[in-house]
Structure 1
Amino acid sequence: MKVSVYGCELTGLVTAGALAQVGNQVMALPVGFVKVADLEAGVLPREEPGLANLLAQQQLEQRLSFETDWEKGLAHAEVLIIATPSWRMDRAEAIIDLIGKKVRKNLVVVNQSTFPVGTADRFEAKLKLALAERGEIFNVSVVAMPDFLSEGSAIDNFTRPDRIVLGSASESSIRLMRDLLRPFNRVTDQIKVMTTRAAEYTKYAVNALLATRISLVNELANNAEHFNIDFEEVRQGLGADHRIGFNYLYPGCGFGGPSFAADVRSLVGNLQTMGYDADLLKTVLSNNETQKEVLFRKAWRFFDNDLRGIKIGVWGLSFKPNTATVENAPSVKAIEAFCAQGAQVKAYDPKAMHDFSLHWHGAESVELVDNMYDALDGVDALVIMTEWKIFWSPDYARMKQLMRRPIIFDGRNIFDPQTISAQGFRYFGVGRGEEI
């Protein structure tokens, strides 16, 4: 099948690469600042495991090409996918305008972007009006297909999905999309067909529910410390209940990333513009921002409310493992708080050093170092913000030798309190039983 993907950020590139890999002829077209020359050279806007190799292989096998001319993408497509970031609504509108003016065949337009509920219906109405004004009778429909990709595992999310949500009233469009997505829908039927508005709302609802769950778990863990309870024991009891399960049941220093919280904020904003409130979701977002500073507050109390001259080592800057992104990451807010109180920070992350330096603008109070042990040299405490695998089994003796004081504040609970204490460290996790 001939597919054109408009948008060469993470979602668009994963979609283009995965569809090309199963035999489709795919043309990918940037809609923002990404350049075709960079894409062809393997320079991607986001670092994602396996993505560069996937795209390079599909180009080599001539199933994937990159193009700047939007009209060529329209001429190529049987299915045209809009995969722009949520803040690129203007570009999506321009693509719809182009289709309305230039399309000369039946076409299925797929919206993967997270736009307000009702966008797909509005796009389809706009296209039908444009065709009517031209006196054309082509069948052009818009299908809502929200993406559920997560940075660090985006290729697996697309090729081995938990569900594929399709929103459309057009049976022929759904049949076409079922055929296009058939390679990723083999074990059981993962496709859920619904109205366009329900499909769009599903994406928001999933993120809202997960955000609420994470914030509630964090609150329960924080409160467990007041009772001298290790929340890990409670987590085992909670997860054993089949109604709850273990997914997203780990307490920590808050969630981040470019899309997760932004989608929840967008839903809250959309509801407020319609005259409705979303008190619970607003509280979830507020609590999460507070949770990003949970390790700072622990350190503040431990060091008697005075961090001037205190040196802090930080392990992990990205908002999650296996990604180089620090946008909306808990590390940024925590480090800001430490520096505002006069602390000096040494930080290390396996992939996110460059992205963090762009966000931080080279302030003197933060030193980015070359490896995880350099971040411990002469520090008064270690703060763990991201649960990269290389941090899980460190050389404890080397750590103690390097650190001025053997104190650990663990925002991802990667260590066992008894084991790490037996190594001679003072250890404070999130909800691990010891209150400061």
Structure 2
Amino acid sequence: MKVSVFGCELSGLVTAGSLAHTGNNVMAIPVGKVKVEDLIKGILPREEPGLDQLLANEFKEGRLTFESDWEKGIMHGDVLFLSMPSWLAERAEAVIELVGQKAQGDVLVVSQSTLPIGTADRFEAMLKLAFAQRGLVAKAVVVAMPEFISEGSAISDFSKPNRVVLGSGDKAATKVIKDLMRPFNNVTDQFKVMSTRAAEYTKYSVNALLATRISLVNELANNAEHFNIDMEEVRQGLGSDHRVGFNYLYPGCGFGGPSFAADVQLLVKTLQSKGYDADLLKTVLSNNEAQKEVLFRKAWRFFEQDLRGIKIAIWGLSFKPNTATVDNAPSIKTIEALVAQGAEVIAYDPKAAPAFKHYWGDRPQVTVVEEMYQALEGADALMVLTEWKSFWSPDYQKMLSLMERPVIFDGRNIYEHSVMREKGFRYFGIGRGEVI
């Protein structure tokens, strides 16, 4: 099948590469700052495990092409995908406007983008009106198929979905999409077919529920340590209840990323537009922003409210492991708070150093190093902000020899308090370790 994917950010590239891999003729069209020349050279807007190789292979085989001309993309595809992040919503609408002006026959649009509820219906109405004004006798259908991929596991999330939410009231369109996605749906039928608005709302609802779950666990953890309770024991008790489960049940220093919190915030605004205050979700977002500074507050108390001249090592800048993205990451807020109080920061991340350097610029008091132990030289404390696997089993003796003071603030609870104590460290986790 001929497929055009408008949008070459993470979602669009994963969709384009995965559909090409299953034999489709795919054209990927950037709609933002991404350039075709860079994509052809393998320069991607986000670093994602396996994505560069997937795209390179499909491009070499001729099943995937990149095109800057939107009109060529419209003419190419039997199915047109809108795969853009929410901040490119205006570009999505521009694509629809051009489709209305240039399409020569029936059009099937699949919206993967997280756009306001009712967008698919509105886009379909726009196309039908444009066709009528041109006197074009053709069918226009816009369906909603929100993406549920996560950075770090995006290809697997797309190709091995635990469900595919499809908002469609058109049986013919539903049949086409199901056939297109058949290679990723061949074990059991994972499609959940519903109205377009319900599909769009489902995407927002999933993010809202996960955000609420994370913030609640963090709140429970923050308070558990004041009762001399190890939150890991509580987590085991909670997760073993089949009604709760273990997913998204890990206390930490807050969630980040370019889309997660933004999607919840957009849902809040949507609900407010209908006269609903959305107090719970506003509290969730507020609590998460406060949680990003939880390690700063622990360090502030430990160093007796004076961080001037204190040297803090940071392990982890990306908002989650296996990604180079620092957008909205807890590291940003933590480092800004430390610097504002006069601390010196030495930071390391396996992949996100370039992105952080670009964000931080030439502002003083922060040095980014190329090796994890280098960050520890003369450090008064270590803060772990991202749970990269390379941080889980470090050389403890080497750490002790390098650090000025053996103090660890663990924002991801990757270490055991008893082990750290035996190794000679002062250890402060989230609902674990020493209380301060």
Flag whether TM exceeds 0.5 (same fold).
Answer: yes
Alignment of 1:355-394 (within 5 A): 355-394=355-394
- The corresponding residue for 1:85 is 85
Alignment of 1:45-56 (within 5 A): 45-56=45-56
- Letter matched to residue 280 of structure 2: L
- The corresponding residue for 1:162 is 162
- The corresponding residue for 2:289 is 289
Distance 1:413 1:85 in 2: 31
| Aligned-pair CA distance for 1:197 | 0.2
TM-score of the pair, normalised by structure 2: 0.99
**2:334 aligned with 1:334:** yes
Distance 2:434 2:216 in 1: 20
- The corresponding residue for 2:324 is 324
Instruction: After superposing the two structures, state which structure 1 stretch, 130-139 or 246-255, moved more.
Output: 130-139
Distance 1:126 1:168 in 2: 17
CA contact (8 A) 1:121 1:142 kept: yes
Unaligned ranges ≥5, structure 2: none
Distance 1:216 1:124 in 2: 39
Q: What is the SS of the residue equivalent to 2:38?
A: helix
- Letter matched to residue 112 of structure 2: Q
**2:277 aligned with 1:277:** yes
- The corresponding residue for 2:346 is 346
| Aligned-pair CA distance for 1:414 | 0.5
Distance 1:24 1:273 in 2: 41
| Aligned-pair CA distance for 1:289 | 0.3
CA contact (8 A) 2:208 2:264 kept: yes
Distance 1:55 1:313 in 2: 37
| Aligned-pair CA distance for 1:399 | 0.2
- The corresponding residue for 1:417 is 417
| Aligned-pair CA distance for 1:32 | 1.0
CA contact (8 A) 1:251 1:430 kept: yes
Alignment of 1:165-244 (within 5 A): 165-244=165-244
CA contact (8 A) 2:427 2:433 kept: no
TM-score of the pair, normalised by structure 1: 0.99
The total of aligned residue pairs comes to: 436
- The corresponding residue for 1:9 is 9
Distance 1:179 1:362 in 2: 52
- The corresponding residue for 1:30 is 30
After the TM superposition, which segments of 4 or more aligned residues of structure 1 sit over 2 Å from their partners? Answer: none
Distance 1:28 1:21 in 2: 13
CA contact (8 A) 1:231 1:433 kept: no
CA contact (8 A) 1:110 1:144 kept: yes
Distance 1:78 1:281 in 2: 39
| Aligned-pair CA distance for 1:108 | 0.9
- Letter matched to residue 19 of structure 2: L
Residue by residue over 1:382-401, the C-alpha shift from the partner in whole angstroms, topping out at 9 and shown as x without a partner, is: 00000000000000000000
Identity value in percent = 69
| Aligned-pair CA distance for 1:434 | 2.7
Alignment of 1:144-159 (within 5 A): 144-159=144-159
Distance 2:388 2:362 in 1: 24
| Aligned-pair CA distance for 1:433 | 4.8
Residue by residue over 1:135-171, the C-alpha shift from the partner in whole angstroms, topping out at 9 and shown as x without a partner, is: 2221110010111110011000100011111101100
**2:305 aligned with 1:267:** no
**2:117 aligned with 1:114:** no
Distance 1:149 1:2 in 2: 23
Distance 2:362 2:429 in 1: 29
Distance 2:162 2:256 in 1: 22
CA contact (8 A) 2:317 2:349 kept: yes
**2:303 aligned with 1:303:** yes
CA contact (8 A) 1:2 1:76 kept: yes
Q: What is the SS of the residue equivalent to 2:284?
A: helix
CA contact (8 A) 1:124 1:141 kept: yes
Residue by residue over 1:13-34, the C-alpha shift from the partner in whole angstroms, topping out at 9 and shown as x without a partner, is: 0000000000000000000111
Distance 1:277 1:175 in 2: 39
CA contact (8 A) 1:348 1:375 kept: yes
Distance 1:182 1:227 in 2: 52
CA contact (8 A) 1:224 1:433 kept: no
